């Protein structure tokens, strides 16, 4: 079956712009989580959506937002981009069973110049 | 707040040998899950092995096994018969149990870069 699909794979944006990243989970997975990965801070949790509702949120400024659609696809948006937002953004999907673990996509590499 | 610590930033091992990656965590939770993820250069995080905290038996997946010491809050990964394809970043991760069967968020360590040499 298809894995978690993230688009685009690479993105270059200018400081001050906004960006939208997309994630399509594995069919049947209703939970979608987003993580930011940087060399300095490592992997940090952004937010999690389940059945179109944000259920968990990490410690990120309000410039970072997301949403989930009825088909479980999710988007995250970053407004007023800063140089420090340059990172690999990973999306993960999962079923309701916590012990199964998450399935990750290959990420979107965002570079802010 | 929970924290995960991986004290070995880099390790190397000869092909076919055994290597152990260390992970410790701090939590006041009693019900939680622990994971090891592998991230090769392709960037995709791949689940290697998982452990439920309420299970005393250590998890095993083919060449991968863990040594879970709940009292010591230690969760090390042993890779036997190392292969070149095992070269990757390895992340230890913690997830607390959420009521209602929901998924909690993963808290990751900083990772260990493992190189398998021919």
User: Is residue A6 helix, strand or coil?
Assistant: strand
Q: By C-alpha distance, which of A84, A38, A90, A39 is closest to A61? A: A84
Strands A53-57 and B107-108, by their bridges, are: unpaired
Query: For residue B43, what is the nearest residue in chain A, using CA coordinates?
Result: A106
Residue A18 to residue B59: CA distance in whole angstroms: 44
Sign of the four-CA dihedral A101, B64, B86, B71: positive
pLDDT in tens, A34-59: 999 999 999 999 999 988 999 889 99
Here the tokens at position A17 are 């712009």
pLDDT < 50 positions in chain A? none
Contact B23, B5 (CB under 8 A): yes
The pairing of strands B10-14 and B112-117 is parallel
Q: Which residues of B touch A94 (CB under 8 A)?
A: 103
| Chain A: closest CA distance from residue B86 (Å) | 18
Do the Cβ atoms of A105 and B105 come within 8 Å? no
Nearest to B108 among A31, A43, A56 (CB): A43
**pLDDT for the residue B103:** 63
Judged against a pLDDT cut of 60, whether residue B109 lies above it is answered with yes
Strand pairing class (B64-69; A53-57): unpaired
SS (H, E, C) B32-70: EEEEEEEECCCCCCEEEEEEECCCCCCCEECCEEEEEEC
Write down the pLDDT at residue A2: 76
Render pLDDT for B13-61 as a digit per residue (tens, 0 to 9). Answer: 999 999 999 999 999 988 899 999 999 988 889 999 999 998 889 999 9
B104–A88: do the CB atoms touch at under 8 Å? no
- Contact list in A for residue B101 (CB cut-off 8 A) is 96-98
Chain A segment 28-67 residues within 8 A of B by beta carbon are 31, 33, 35, 42-43, 45, 48, 50, 55-56, 58
Q: How is residue B78 written in tokens?
A: 């042993």
- Verify whether the Cβ–Cβ distance B45 to A90 is below 8 Å: yes
């Amino acid at each position: 079956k298809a894995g978690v699909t993230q688009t685009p794979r690479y993105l270059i944006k200018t400081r001050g712009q906004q960006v939208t990243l997309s994630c399509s989970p594995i069919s049947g997975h209703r939970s979608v989580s987003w993580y930011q990965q940087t060399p300095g801070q490592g992997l940090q949790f952004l937010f999690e959506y389940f059945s179109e509702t944000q259920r968990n949120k990490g410690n990120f400024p309000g410039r970072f937002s997301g949403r989930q659609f009825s088909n479980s696809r999710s988007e995250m948006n970053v407004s007023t981009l800063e140089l420090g937002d340059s990172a690999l953004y990973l999306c993960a999907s999962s079923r309701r069973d916590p012990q199964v673990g998450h399935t990750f996509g290959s990420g979107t590499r965002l570079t802010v110049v | 707040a929970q924290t995960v610590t991986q004290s070995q930033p880099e390790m190397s091992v000869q092909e076919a040998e055994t290597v152990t990656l260390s992970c410790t965590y701090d939590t006041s939770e009693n019900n939680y899950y622990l994971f090891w993820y592998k991230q090769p250069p392709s960037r995709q995080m791949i689940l290697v092995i998982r452990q439920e905290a309420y299970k005393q038996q250590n998890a095993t997946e083919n060449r991968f096994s863990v040594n879970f010491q709940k009292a010591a809050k230690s969760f090390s990964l042993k890779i036997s018969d190392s292969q070149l394809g095992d070269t990757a970043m390895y992340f230890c991760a913690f997830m607390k149990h959420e009521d209602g069967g929901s998924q909690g968020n993963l808290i990751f360590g900083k990772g260990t870069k493992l190189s398998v040499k021919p």
